[in-house]
């Protein structure tokens, strides 16, 4: 209960907020606190009227958020179960996972309870029962892998399934199934069924291909960088080449338009690309 006391203390005014939060939780169990009206909180003599309204508003917001949360789909057979553990079939060591479910077979939480070696993984029935009780689940699915590649349940797997089913049944809980996964194949210890893992299209597909426009832009940028480096190596200025390309694009866009050159552009070209001056022809003697 320390986490709940700290959360409640955040809603109370100082001083001694944490001590007063502990007093409220001592007078009202957590289950009653969720539905306790402001008057019941005030009766503990540990909170003020404003603090009681604040706590009630916090629970109202929390319940509204939980009601709007989408509910998970119910598990409909081993095929749906193993689809939630696609990475387990290729693990190099044995692992035992639990999938806690509610009364409608909707998943509540996944939990790793044991990790062993390449050929064996030891887990106690009591540890699984304790995890199911702590999760507040109505039932549980057990999934573990065989790194050997053969999903056939061993005699130890079947015996463990029987003991766990008996212990959970004595507490009013249900062992929904115990499935062994190896690669893409699976086998059920409870029903004896077997099959292959269905890989969805989203898992089969790789990363989306890069758009051609993006790739083309990158290639063009790389070509410009190479061209600029060559011009710099020859002692020329790169923008002169880009200026020429600009005029070429203008001429291609409007072929009937006569190319015009400004004095500044001519000076720039002359400065960047020195040329041999034109020779004046000799004059004829008079």
In tens digits, what is the pLDDT along the chain, a chain of 286 residues?
577 778 878 888 888 888 888 888 777 765 556 555 566 677 777 788 888 888 878 877 776 665 554 556 888 888 888 888 878 888 889 999 999 999 899 998 889 999 988 888 889 999 999 999 988 899 999 999 999 989 999 999 999 999 999 999 999 999 999 999 998 899 999 888 888 876 553 344 333 444 445 666 667 777 777 777 777 777 665 554 444 444 455 455 455 554 454 444 444 444 444 555 555 555 655 5
Quick one: CA dihedral 115, 118, 89, 181, positive or negative?
A: negative
- Sheet of 139-145: strands edge to edge? 107-115, 95-101, 139-145, 174-182, 185-188, 194-196
**What is the CA 10 to chain-centroid distance, rounded?**
30
Spatial CA neighbour of 23 closest among 49, 50, 45: 45
CATH class of 78-200: alpha beta
Rounded to a whole number of angstroms, the distance between the first and last alpha carbons of the chain is 119
pLDDT score recorded for residue 29: 61
Whether the CB-CB separation of 114 and 96 falls below 8 Å is answered with yes
pLDDT score recorded for residue 56: 77
Would you kindly state where each structural domain of the chain is located, as residue ranges?
2-68, 78-200, 213-247
Backbone angles phi, psi at 188, to 5 degrees: -95, 130
pLDDT score recorded for residue 205: 37
Burial of 183 (0-12, 13-18, 19+ CB in 10 A): middle
Return the structure tokens found at 229: 């480096």
DSSP codes of every residue in the chain: -HHHHHHHHTTS-SSSHHHHHHHHHHHS-HHHHTT--HHHHHTTTSS-HHHHHHHHHHHHHHHHHHHHSPPPPPP-SHHHHHTT-TTGGG-SS-EEEEEEE-TTS-EEEEEEEEE--SS-----HHHHHHHHHHHT-SEEEEEEE-TTS--PPPHHHHHHHHHHHHHHHHTT-EEEEEEEEETTEEEETTT--EEEPPPPHHHHS-SPPPPHHHHHHHHHHHHHHHHHHHHHHTT--HHHHHHHHHHHHHHHH-TTSPP---HHHHHHHHHHS--PPPPPPPPPP-
Q: What is the pLDDT of residues 146-200, one digit of tens each?
A: 999 899 999 999 999 999 999 999 999 999 999 999 988 999 998 888 888 765 5
């Amino acid at each position: 209960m320390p986490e709940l006391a700290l959360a409640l203390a955040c809603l109370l005014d100082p001083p001694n907020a944490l001590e007063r939060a502990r007093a409220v939780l001592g007078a009202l169990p957590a289950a009653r606190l969720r539905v306790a009206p402001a008057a019941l909180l005030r009766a503990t003599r540990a909170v003020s009227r404003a603090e009681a309204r604040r706590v009630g508003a916090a629970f109202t917001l929390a319940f509204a958020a939980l009601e709007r949360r989408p509910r998970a789909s119910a598990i409909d057979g081993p095929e749906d179960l193993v689809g939630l553990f696609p990475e387990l079939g290729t693990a190099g060591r044995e692992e035992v996972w639990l999938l806690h479910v509610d009364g409608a077979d909707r998943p509540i939480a996944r939990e790793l309870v044991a990790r062993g070696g390449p050929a064996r993984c030891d887990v106690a029935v009591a540890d699984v029962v304790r995890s199911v009780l702590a999760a507040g689940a109505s039932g549980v699915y057990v999934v573990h892998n065989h790194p050997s590649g053969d999903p056939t349940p061993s005699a130890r797997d079947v015996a463990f399934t029987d003991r766990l089913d008996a212990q959970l049944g004595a507490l009013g809980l249900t062992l929904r199934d115990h499935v062994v996964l190896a690669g893409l194949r699976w086998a059920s210890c409870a029903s004896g069924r077997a099959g292959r893992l269905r890989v969805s299209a989203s898992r089969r597909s790789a990363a989306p291909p890069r758009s051609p426009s993006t790739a083309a832009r990158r290639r063009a940028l790389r070509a410009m960088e190479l061209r600029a480096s060559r011009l710099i190596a020859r002692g020329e200025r790169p923008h002169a080449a880009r200026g020429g390309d600009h005029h070429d694009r203008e001429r291609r866009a409007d072929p009937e338009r006569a190319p015009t050159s400004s004095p500044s552009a001519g000076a720039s070209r002359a400065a960047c690309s020195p040329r041999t001056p034109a020779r004046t022809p000799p004059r004829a003697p008079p």
